[in-house]
Amino acid sequence: MTDEKNCGFDTLCIHGGHKTESNRAHLTPIYASSTYTFESAEQGVAVFRNEEPGYIYGRFGNPTINEAEDKIALLEAFGLKDATGEPLKLKAILHSSGMATITTMLLSNLKVGDTIITHQSLYGGTQEMLDKILPSLGINSTILDFHNLSAVEEAIKADNTIKLMYLETPANPTLQCIDLEASAALGKKHNLIVCADNTFATPYLQQPFKYAVDYVMHSTTKFLNGHGTAVGGIVVGRDLEKMNGVVTKTHRLLGGNSNAFEAYLLTNGLRTFSLRMQRHCSNAEQVANFLEQHEAVARVNYLGLASHPDHATSKKQMKHAGAMLSFELKGGYDAGLKFINSLKVCTNAVSLGTCDTLVSHPASTTHVGVKPEDRVRFGITDGLIRMSVGLENIEDILNDLKQALQ
């Protein structure tokens, strides 16, 4: 096994979390087994009492799932120390989707009467859960402006039902950034649970555990898997007692577990994660610079551009501006549809973080159900195009954009 304490990030992408197999298979096989045997009644007792490590039942996890969990925990903790100066130890639990992960995390930490504070433009599914599912369990949420933290503090002081701060940075579709260090510090000052959805940035670009964050969530469907082959989600936590206790219990009882095949695909994707991110980022930077100069484009939302209002915040907490951007066509709705229809290399699909460049027109697809005046308030104008820049040759991406913008 690899000496994980002394390895670099790229090495952890490849070797992190791997355990030598009993049959010495090079790669951890897909454990297609719903249950696990015990050598003796006594061993069964020890495993059930958590006195001895061992697998019990597929819903609780298996070696293929475990490898992906340990790898991602190592990447989120990379280079960080705990309060005593020792390398930070995190625990991660893989789920069937990002949404299942967020459900487990919220229901592990909240009860009837509690309030969540969050900010605008969360992932659509998350916002819908806060609006349509949690209120019937007596859990409400308030949207605040996290660019004004003194107002956030006033709101916290005025309402003692506030228990959890939910952050997602950067966020769709304008790549708004929240200052993780300042927000998390404020949350901890008032004893809130602080969690951050790190899907867009990934641990390659941003490590929320550098700051006073308790939980990090990912939709592993995106950059972590990287190939668009499986839906998944993961919650990573620093309070190991809670992670092994209430969070594990909630995960097992809600039943949003992952499975061996999709965990295998995730681990396989993660082996090239670091390399992929380098190329994603350099391609995106070139696409943003190209679009900013183009006469058909009114505005480009990319954190690497000095024109982005959160450019400075992103520079403080992210290694690079990342691979996500959006831009506004001067021609509005019709220009948006024409542009999408003209693409020959880039793929017309929602989601993000795959090897190929994905392009979507939110006003006619993901946000078609949102009232036009709300859309404008969220920055989703009729001519807005969202891009997840892929790994193709940059010349091919730029030539495709050039001909589609004509």
Where do contacts with ligand PLP occur on this chain (CB under 6 A)? 97-99, 123, 125-126, 168, 197, 199-200, 219, 221-222, 231, 233
Residue 3's φ and ψ, nearest 5 degrees, are -80, 90
Q: Which is nearer to ligand PLP, 17 or 228 (CB)?
A: 228
**How far is residue 377's CA from residue 380's CA, in Å, rounded to a whole number?**
7
| CB distance 170 to 176 below 8 Å | yes
Q: Which is nearer to ligand PLP, 129 or 149 (CB)?
A: 129
**How far is residue 210's CA from residue 90's CA, in Å, rounded to a whole number?**
12
Q: Which is nearer to ligand PLP, 168 or 400 (CB)?
A: 168
Minimum separation from the CB atom of position 388 to ligand PLP (A) = 10
* Torsion sign, CA atoms 156, 159, 162, 167: negative
Token representation of residue 311: 């450019």
Q: Which is nearer to ligand PLP, 264 or 398 (CB)?
A: 264
Minimum separation from the CB atom of position 229 to ligand PLP (A) = 13
Q: Which is nearer to ligand PLP, 286 or 351 (CB)?
A: 351
Minimum separation from the CB atom of position 180 to ligand PLP (A) = 15
Sheet of strand 358-360: strand arrangement: 297-301, 324-329, 384-388, 358-360, 347-348
Taking alpha carbons only, the member of 181, 140, 131, 182 closest to residue 163 is 140
Q: Which is nearer to ligand PLP, 28 or 101 (CB)?
A: 101
Amino acid occupying residue 365? T
Minimum separation from the CB atom of position 371 to ligand PLP (A) = 22
Q: Which is nearer to ligand PLP, 62 or 97 (CB)?
A: 97
Cβ count within 10 A of residue 358:
21
Q: Which is nearer to ligand PLP, 320 or 400 (CB)?
A: 320
| CB distance 249 to 378 below 8 Å | no
Q: Which is nearer to ligand PLP, 156 or 360 (CB)?
A: 360
Minimum separation from the CB atom of position 361 to ligand PLP (A) = 17
Minimum separation from the CB atom of position 95 to ligand PLP (A) = 8
**How far is residue 68's CA from residue 267's CA, in Å, rounded to a whole number?**
5
| CB distance 348 to 215 below 8 Å | no
Minimum separation from the CB atom of position 219 to ligand PLP (A) = 3
Burial level of 49, CB count in 10 A (0-12/13-18/19+)?
A: exposed
**How far is residue 43's CA from residue 338's CA, in Å, rounded to a whole number?**
65
Which uninterrupted H or E stretch holds 384? strand 384-388
**How far is residue 371's CA from residue 354's CA, in Å, rounded to a whole number?**
30
Minimum separation from the CB atom of position 171 to ligand PLP (A) = 7
Q: Which is nearer to ligand PLP, 101 or 283 (CB)?
A: 101
Taking alpha carbons only, the member of 164, 104, 167, 102 closest to residue 139 is 164
Minimum separation from the CB atom of position 20 to ligand PLP (A) = 31
Q: Please, which residues have CB within 8 angstroms of residue 86's CB and are 6 or more apart in sequence?
A: none
Q: What is the DSSP string of 190-206?
A: TT-EEEEE-TTTHHHH-
Minimum separation from the CB atom of position 358 to ligand PLP (A) = 12
Q: Examine residue 170 and say whether the peptide bond preceding it is cis (omega within 30 degrees of 0).
A: yes
Token representation of residue 8: 């670099």
Q: Which is nearer to ligand PLP, 168 or 382 (CB)?
A: 168
Minimum separation from the CB atom of position 165 to ligand PLP (A) = 16
